[in-house]
Amino acid sequence: MITCPHCQNKHINKNGKKSTGTQNYLCRNSTCGKQFQLIYKNQGANPIVKNYVQKALSRNCGIQDIKNIFNVSKPYILKTLTIYAKKIEIKPQKKYYESLQIDEFWTYVGNKNNKVWFLYAYSADNQEVVSYVFGDRSEVTVRKLYEKLSSENISVGTFYTDNWKAFKKVLPEKKHKIGKKYTKAIEGNNNYIRSRNRRTVRKTCGFSKKMENHEAAMKICIYCKNYNYC
């Protein structure tokens, strides 16, 4: 009995042969209607493999590991990565945050001379990465994050940061508290991300070669963390 790997429907028609010579099938479920084969010469076309690759990306597996385990090509994995990242959206889960902690850490992108900073706002109450930006380690990047937060239609009671002077220049004084004792939760979260995602490990060799891939991988990482998918 043949079942459709997309929807598990058992009503299947034969549907010609692929250029590789393997039998092609068509699912007769009207809401699915997808084609598939029982044996895939090209593993990337196998919907079961595709699902596993996406899961592996959610768990921040390295591209090289995914390539070896699932026998798919690197361009295929990177394409899956960027398509997956485009489909998901990171939006604040609350309208009001009593407090947000802001901190940053750097990663390499492209080569080991290029550090890219990941600056983000974290809500310790519900362990949520509320918003983030990429940039250099300057006031400009802090402003970018603050403007992004302001555009999110949320209100924030207090911003907690460490003593870096760029925070002081950008965040409204009345709402800003400075001190390492206030940023323990976000520092814990930095460690969590660094331990989960090898792109963010210090001295790593597993960094992204392109900014687009880096942004996609970080988005998936944060999305899965926010929604407990990993």
Q: Give the interface with Zn ion as residue ranges (CB under 5 A).
A: 4, 6-7, 9, 27, 29, 32
Looking only at the bridges linking them, the beta strands covering 111-123 and 128-135 are antiparallel
27 or 81: CB nearest Zn ion = 27
31 or 153: CB nearest Zn ion = 31
If we measure between CA atoms, which residue out of 37, 57, 56 comes closest to residue 47? 37
10 or 41: CB nearest Zn ion = 10
Q: At closest approach, how far in Å is the CB of 39 from Zn ion?
A: 18
Q: At closest approach, how far in Å is the CB of 1 from Zn ion?
A: 14
Q: At closest approach, how far in Å is the CB of 57 from Zn ion?
A: 24
Alpha helices in the chain, H assignment, sequence order: 47-58, 63-70, 74-87, 139-150, 165-170, 184-196, 211-226
Q: At closest approach, how far in Å is the CB of 159 from Zn ion?
A: 49
6 or 18: CB nearest Zn ion = 6
Q: Specify the residue for token string 């940061």.
A: 161
Q: At closest approach, how far in Å is the CB of 22 from Zn ion?
A: 18
Q: How many helices (H) and strands (E) does the chain have?
A: 7, 8
d(Cα 79, Cα 45) in Å, to the nearest integer? 13
d(Cα 69, Cα 45) in Å, to the nearest integer? 16
26 or 90: CB nearest Zn ion = 26
